[in-house]
Amino acid sequence: MELLAPAGSMAAFKAALIGGADAIYIGGKSFGARRQAANFTDQELNTAVRAAHKRGVKVYVTVNTLIKEEEVPSVFSYLGYLESIAVDAVILQDRGLLQLIQDTFSLSVHASTQMNIHSPEGVVWAEKNGIRRVILARELRLKELKKIREDTSLELEVFIHGALCYSFSGQCLFSSAVGGRSGNRGLCAQPCRKRYTLGRDKGYLLSTADLFGIEAIPDLLRLGVNGLKIEGRMRSPLYVYLTSKIYSNAIRRAEDDRSPLITPREKELLEVVFNRGFSRGYLADDDVMHRAYAGSRGRLLGTIDFDGKTMAIKADSLRSNDGITLYRQDEKVGGFGIQKVEWEQGFKILRPPFKIPKGEYQVYKTKDRDFDSIQKRITGMTLPPASGKTKVRRFSFPSIRRDGARGDLSFYVSSLKSLEAVIPYADRVYFDWNSRFPDAYAMCEQAGIECVLILPRFSFDMSPTDVESLMVCSVDQFEAYSSRKLYGHYAMNFFNSLTIPSLFQYTLSVELSKDDIEEIARHYAGRIEVMVFGRIELMVSRDPLLGEGILIDRKRKRFPVYRDRFGFVHILNSSDLFLLDYLDDLEKMGINSFGIDLRRRDPALSELVAKAFYQRDLRQKTVIKKRCNSITARHYLRGVI
């Protein structure tokens, strides 16, 4: 079993080598999902690959952002460079790069967890498309992993330690909606780590604990999982060294059937170096949430009453040259290094070097006495210079001509009353998978319009259906229903004209701007839909605890929350997308269909919106805005960076 360590800098890369990782995943200056890490220049990538290979360690390079049409030539050249320096694999999110690599390069491909493959069908699709390894969705449980392993011999990789996303992997639009920084493009602003109110609940309602999956290693070993992955390209070299060392030890102990897998001292070091609270994660059906606070605080030592002079704490592991940090409720007060430990009646007596008020404080250990020596080892390591010739390849798109015909109006609907309100204006209806679908299908058939069943956002077990026209949300669903007439939901992250698989119609990503859409339309021959109205789904999660209602942030923005019949929680945007002003422009680009999402909206609003879009009546914009409270055209006008 291979252990993969993260490296967001050359220092972290050295830490992973010293720590004993079998493989290291790193990113260049572009196209990586951790754009805010230091990352690696082309020369540093070359150096890293040579140094790792001399030690028998593999290097996987992340090319795991969604790629805009205009970026394809650049990423093509970059892939050529990675091939020339002999990286062991590239990690991809964007499906549009798969065929490009197969036709031109000899690179091995690993499917990023951002590709959101989460079922046996998805892994079958990956194998058919030349992917060597699938990094599975982090939301999977052991029984689901077991089913996938039984149905494929493809290499499988699973996250074992580090940060968890609240949203399903590759499906979060929250950051781009509230700040224009796309998580799918490597610039997540982490809105899940902010404070919210929902009904009577207040706090860090979307903040997850860090995954601590050591207990699952024997089960994953028995299942035949090929790789265990540590999250953390934004983490310190100390974190990378310790997680690499400790998890490498745990894997060897599991392979030799030795216990315990981790010593108390090793766990202490992991808790100190970085944690937001630990959870065994979905692998163990554990609660993954940690709503008390959102940042790393280190290892909790206890709560003390400070008398204004000294602190008395029972903490057997505290030694000279350790460091602690004090918190008062949610406020960080400060921290200090321990120069000398004094004992008094079984307590350790600490003297803060700065003045703080009397009162109750929580004490966390945030530095360990061994950190300095580890840091010296990392800093002292030297790497040999890179060598070898590299090459660059060029790419150009063929252009096509699209007809600028009037676009269809396709309505997303979840109730029969709203369906009745929009039928006179609809060319097509996408209906939620609920108990009323058979009646909805009959109503559409009688009216002579197509009725498309919207599949659930995630299908861990594919539900059988004999409906011919389906809206799919993942490649897993495409593979399960490939013989049907398929429409692609915007969750499939269509970002460029190379996107596969081929469907009857795709809905473009809602993160694309007018210019992005126009560029795609110049090169893509298939049918395209653009969302033009409705509350976009910002997050879909497996969190079983978040209630339904209105999630309110510190700016008083209001995000509707609901649960679907499959138990998933959906968080919607606070504003309705509204592009009625731009339908003519989109039609000139050759857009075939306009998506109007009216699910969970009352029939009166549904009819008002449907009629306004049907008649292109901009006079209704003010009325609709008042009814919806807020409307936006943000991404269409500005896109994401």
Q: What is the pLDDT of residues 594-627, one digit of tens each?
A: 999 999 999 999 999 999 999 999 999 999 999 9
Question: Band of the pLDDT at 31, cuts 50, 70, 90?
Answer: very high
pLDDT at 464: 86
Q: How many angstroms separate the CA atoms of 124 and 110, rounded?
A: 14
Mean pLDDT of 352-362: 92
Question: Band of the pLDDT at 392, cuts 50, 70, 90?
Answer: low
Q: How many angstroms separate the CA atoms of 62 and 70, rounded?
A: 19
Domain residue ranges in the chain:
2-164+208-285, 299-371, 408-536+573-638
Secondary structure of 269-303 as H, E, C letters:
HHHHHCCCCEECCHHHCCCCECCCCCCCCCEEEEE
Residue 414 in this model has a pLDDT that exceeds 70: yes
Q: Which two tokens stand for residue 503?
A: 């469907």
Residue 399 in this model has a pLDDT that exceeds 90: no
**Strands of the 196-198 sheet, one edge to the other:** 201-203, 196-198, 549-552, 558-563, 569-572, 537-541
CA distances from 232 to 162, 372, 447 (A): 6, 20, 54
CA distances from 495 to 35, 120, 410, 517, 635 (A): 18, 25, 21, 9, 13
Contact at 8 Å (CB) between 638 and 180?
A: yes
Mean pLDDT of 567-581: 97
Pick the CATH number of 2-164+208-285 from 3.40.50.300, 1.10.760.10, 3.20.20.70, 3.50.50.60: 3.20.20.70
Q: Which two tokens stand for residue 511?
A: 């993160």
Q: Render pLDDT for 526-556 as a digit per residue (tens, 0 to 9).
A: 999 999 999 999 999 999 999 999 999 999 9
Pinpoint the alpha helices (H) of 5-141. Answer: 10-19, 42-54, 72-84, 96-104, 120-128
Mean pLDDT of 192-198: 97
Q: Which residue, 119, 143, 113, is CA-closest to 284?
A: 143
pLDDT at 384: 83
pLDDT averaged over every residue in the chain: 95
Question: Band of the pLDDT at 290, cuts 50, 70, 90?
Answer: very high
Q: Which two tokens stand for residue 435?
A: 């108990």
Distance of CA 174 to the CA centre of its chain: 11
Mean pLDDT of 14-32: 96
Q: Which residue, 256, 105, 113, is CA-closest to 183?
A: 113
Domains 2-164+208-285 and 408-536+573-638 agree in fold: yes
pLDDT at 401: 84
Question: Band of the pLDDT at 570, cuts 50, 70, 90?
Answer: very high
Mean pLDDT of 219-224: 98
CA distances from 115 to 22, 93, 110, 141 (A): 24, 5, 10, 18
Contact at 8 Å (CB) between 362 and 73?
A: no
pLDDT at 45: 96
Residue 558 in this model has a pLDDT that exceeds 70: yes
Fold of 408-536+573-638: TIM Barrel (3.20.20)
Mean pLDDT of 441-456: 97
Q: Which residue, 136, 279, 289, 75, is CA-closest to 201?
A: 289
Mean pLDDT of 228-250: 98
pLDDT at 362: 95
pLDDT at 300: 95
Contact at 8 Å (CB) between 534 and 134?
A: no
Mean pLDDT of 335-351: 86
Q: Give the β-pairing of 359-367 and 299-306.
A: antiparallel
| Residue type at 537 in one-letter notation | E
Lowest average pLDDT, out of 58-72, 126-140, 455-469, 600-614, goes to 455-469
pLDDT at 64: 95
Q: How many angstroms separate the CA atoms of 28 and 20, rounded?
A: 22
Q: How many CA atoms lie within 13 A of 585 on its CB side?
A: 13
Question: Band of the pLDDT at 391, cuts 50, 70, 90?
Answer: low
pLDDT at 389: 61
Global pTM reads: 0.96
Residue 463 in this model has a pLDDT that exceeds 90: no
Tell me what percent of the residues of the chain surpass a pLDDT of 90: 89
Q: Render pLDDT for 416-447 as a digit per residue (tens, 0 to 9).
A: 999 999 999 999 999 999 999 999 999 999 99
Q: What is the DSSP letter of 71?
A: G
